[in-house]
Amino acid sequence: MKIQSLKLAYFSPTGTTAAVVEAIAEGLGYEVVEDVDITMPEERQEPLQASADELLVVAVPVYGGRVPFLLEPWLRTLELDGTPVVCAVVFGNRAFEDALIELSDIVAEQGGVVLGGAAFIGEHSFSSEEYPVAVSRPDEDDLRGAKDFGRKLRKTLDALTSIEGAPKPAIPGDHPYKERKPRGPVDFINVSDSCVMCGICAEQCPVGAIDAADFKRTDPDKCIMCCACIKVCPEYARTTKPGSPVEGFAKWLNENCADRKEPVYFL
């Protein structure tokens, strides 16, 4: 099948999903590539269309074993027309549960044909110096795997004469999906005196939760706990509040999810 262009759609507050997508794209090796980074709110205002001669790679981090709740409205604007699609999720070395099946179900409902899926490991958003979890993942091996996955997909696509003949990957997951935890206000970020009010945190917040007039204030109703603000702070002024549920969970992950998990591929 001749693919005219590759579209890469991804949400990646702390950069691990973006790194995986880049490696898959490298393996696919198409010349025309459109980057659709939907991490920031403005970019999620634009709907995405893709035709049958384009390939879409769509990738999201796993939140609570699911596709992040805030992405559902944007994903539902996808206008696909027999478009071949590759779905990828990135999880923090605990589990990806129903995130990949949920993503591929949405894509199929929007008119896409899922050619392949994969689940990768990324440093956990809650990982800290005190409670490290999957630090520096995806690493070289992970990215090599992602690139190989891209190469294999390219071979499959090149060998196909029509999308109707595409193999159907057996994506794992349950129906109904794992229940989402009810969302309440979250207040877990500590800002130390090292904050120089540079505002980088506010610029990088995917939900506009940081007060533009006082960068030390985060709106607990808007915050999605992605930890982008903690990871981008050049002064290391933002940390998890001691005794907060996020710190407790980081400790639990550090103790219970220390064994290295490997990426899995479905083709």
Residues found in the chain: 267
By CB under 6 A, is residue 150 in contact with ligand FMN?
no
Stretch 125-144 residues interacting with ligand FMN (CB under 6 A): 125
Residue 52: CB minimum distance to ligand FMN, A? 29
Can residue 94 be called a binding residue for ligand FMN (CB under 6 A)? yes
Which 3-state string (H, E, C) describes 179-217?
CCCCCCCCCCEEECCCCCCCCHHHHHCCCCCECCCCCCC
Q: How far is the CB of 75 from ligand FMN (least distance, A)?
A: 16
Q: Considering only the stretches 57-65, 77-85, 160-168, 191-199, report the one whose residues sit in contact with ligand FMN under the rule CB under 6 A.
A: 57-65
Angle between helices 16-28 and 140-159 (to 10 degrees): 40
- What SS3 state is found at 109? helix
**Could you give the C-alpha distances from 136 to 19, 43, 248, in angstroms and in order?**
11, 27, 21
Closest residue to ligand FMN, Cβ-based? 122
Q: Which is nearer to ligand FMN, 10 or 215 (CB)?
A: 10
Among 6, 7, 8, 16, binds ligand FMN (CB under 6 A): 16
- Could you give the string, one character per residue 169-208, with x where binding to ligand FMN holds by CB under 6 A and - elsewhere? ----------------------------------------
Q: Is 82 in the site for ligand FMN (CB under 6 A)?
A: no
Q: Could you tell me if 61 and 91 are in contact, meaning their C-beta atoms sit under 8 angstroms apart?
A: yes
Q: Which of residues 224-263 bind ligand FMN (CB under 6 A)?
A: 225-227
- Do 16 and 137 form a contact (C-beta atoms < 8 A)? yes
For the bound state, the minimum distance from the C-beta of residue 45 to ligand FMN, rounded and expressed in Å, comes to: 20
Indicate left, alpha or beta for 64 from its phi (over 0: left) and psi (-120 to 50: alpha). left
| Nearest partner of 129 among 33, 239, 32, 252, judged by Cα | 239
> Closest approach of Cβ 154 to ligand FMN, in Å?
24
For residue 1, which of 53, 58, 57 has the smallest C-alpha distance? 53
Instruction: Tally Cβ neighbours within 10 Å of residue 162.
Output: 9
The reply to whether 83 sits near ligand FMN by the rule CB under 6 A is no
β-strands 189-191, 238-240: how paired? antiparallel
Q: Residue 115 CB, nearest distance to ligand FMN (Å)? A: 22
Burial of 242 (0-12, 13-18, 19+ CB in 10 A): exposed
111: left (phi over 0), alpha (psi -120 to 50) or beta: left
Is 44 a binding residue for ligand FMN by CB under 6 A? The answer is: no
CB of 138 to ligand FMN, least distance (A): 8
Least spacing, CB of residue 213 vs ligand FMN, in Å: 26
Q: Pick the binder of ligand FMN from 23, 71, 93, 173 (CB under 6 A).
A: 93
Among 33, 37, 64, 244, binds ligand FMN (CB under 6 A): 64
* Interface positions with ligand FMN (CB under 6 A): 12-17, 61-65, 90-95, 122-125, 225-227
